[in-house]
């Protein structure tokens, strides 16, 4: 079940890429580890260990969402999960957060405008004279 969800989320995040979870020892799954075989669009299939930092980030996020399908929790906190992603993948991840927010809440710390633009609520935090200050921002709704 987790592998099917992983494939689904990987495809969403990559715009049609393919991925699979691969057991090192399928006969005795608890006696071995697991790896990820990933294929981004227009690229060869590779183990995730040989992927770029952005590709590994996309793969890890797809895996986290697959685990969420299997065992959901009320909320998740992600600190700059989009740091290694290009704007296209940040936007897709923001869309996925918006879609999945019907099931769980997501607190995402980001510096990327592509992610901020997808948020329902935004807070800014800044330091002045040794004190942290929090400001809320209104997101303009489009219809």
On the question of pLDDT at 130 being above 90, the answer is: yes
- What confidence score (pLDDT) does residue 29 get? 83
Under 8 Å between Cβ of 45 and 39: yes
Does residue 2 or residue 137 have the better pLDDT? Answer: 2
On the question of pLDDT at 17 being above 60, the answer is: yes
- The verdict on domain 2-137 having CATH code 3.40.50.300 is yes
Biggest alpha carbon distance in the chain?
61
* CA pair distance 70, 5, nearest whole angstrom: 9
Q: Please tell me the pTM assigned to this model.
A: 0.82
* CA pair distance 23, 91, nearest whole angstrom: 31
**In this structure, what are the phi and psi dihedrals at residue 9, rounded to the nearest 5 degrees?**
-70, -35
Q: Per-residue pLDDT averaged across 120-141, rounded? A: 87
- What confidence score (pLDDT) does residue 57 get? 93
**CB atoms near residue 120 (< 10 Å):** 11
Three-class SS string for 74-141? CEEEEECCCCCCCHHHHHHHHHHHHHHCCCCEEEEECCCHHHHCCCCCEEEEEEECCEEEEEEECCCC
Q: Per-residue pLDDT averaged across 111-126, rounded? A: 90
The secondary structure element, H or E, covering residue 71 is none
On the question of pLDDT at 30 being above 60, the answer is: yes
- What confidence score (pLDDT) does residue 39 get? 92
Selection from 6, 98, 139 nearest residue 61 by Cα: 6
On the question of pLDDT at 33 being above 70, the answer is: yes
- What confidence score (pLDDT) does residue 137 get? 82
Position 25 confidence tier, pLDDT thresholds 50, 70, 90? confident
- What confidence score (pLDDT) does residue 107 get? 93
Q: What is the pLDDT of residues 77-98, one digit of tens each?
A: 999 999 999 999 999 999 999 9
- What confidence score (pLDDT) does residue 67 get? 93
């Amino acid at each position: 079940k987790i592998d099917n969800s992983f494939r689904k989320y990987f495809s969403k995040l990559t715009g049609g890429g393919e991925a699979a979870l691969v057991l090192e020892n399928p006969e005795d799954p608890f006696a071995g580890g697991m790896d990820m075989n990933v294929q981004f669009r227009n690229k060869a299939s590779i183990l995730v260990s040989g992927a770029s930092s952005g590709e590994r980030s996309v793969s890890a996020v797809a895996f986290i969402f697959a685990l969420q399908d299997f065992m959901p929790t009320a909320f998740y906190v992600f600190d700059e999960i989009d740091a290694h992603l290009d704007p296209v993948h940040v936007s897709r991840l923001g869309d996925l957060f918006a879609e999945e927010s019907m099931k769980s809440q997501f607190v995402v710390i980001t510096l990327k405008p592509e992610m901020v633009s997808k948020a329902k609520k935004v807070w800014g935090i800044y330091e002045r004279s040794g004190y942290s200050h929090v400001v809320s921002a209104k997101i303009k709704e489009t219809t």
